[in-house]
Structure 1
């Protein structure tokens, strides 16, 4: 059976395209996951910050947090 070199190039291009498509799909999924994690973290941070702001010892809590963080 004779196979044209053009056929092999054509097949290889599709293989590369499939690989790039798969990588792109994995990248998009990873970005969706990271955005969801960031959304959760932002929500948690805002809730925590609101709780600290409402606490009578707000300044002491913030000062202690800054000290622990090395600021």
Structure 2
């Protein structure tokens, strides 16, 4: 059995805590990256829907113009 000083033990515990903190941070960054990708995907979907709605609106406005002309 090896005896270590309190300073060495404190340094070891600090290093272990630092490593755990870094691992937690890497995990959280990964989670946030996944969430960002989902948001980008949803924004793309909403953009596509916006284009469709604008197309329908234009079609409706043209139809109304034809009805008013009659």
Q: Highest relative contact order (Cα 8 Å, sep 6+), 1 or 2?
A: 1
Asked if these proteins are the same fold (TM beyond 0.5), I'd say yes
Task: Name the TM-score class by shorter chain.
Answer: 0.7 to 0.9
Identify unmatched segments of 5+ residues in structure 2: 62-70
Aligned mates of 1:42, 1:25 — CA distance in 2: 26
Structure 1: which 4+ aligned runs deviate by more than 3 Å?
A: none
Normalising by structure 2, report the TM-score.
0.75
Identify unmatched segments of 5+ residues in structure 1: 59-71
Aligned mates of 1:27, 1:44 — CA distance in 2: 26
Q: What secondary structure is seen at the aligned counterpart in 2 of 1:2?
A: coil
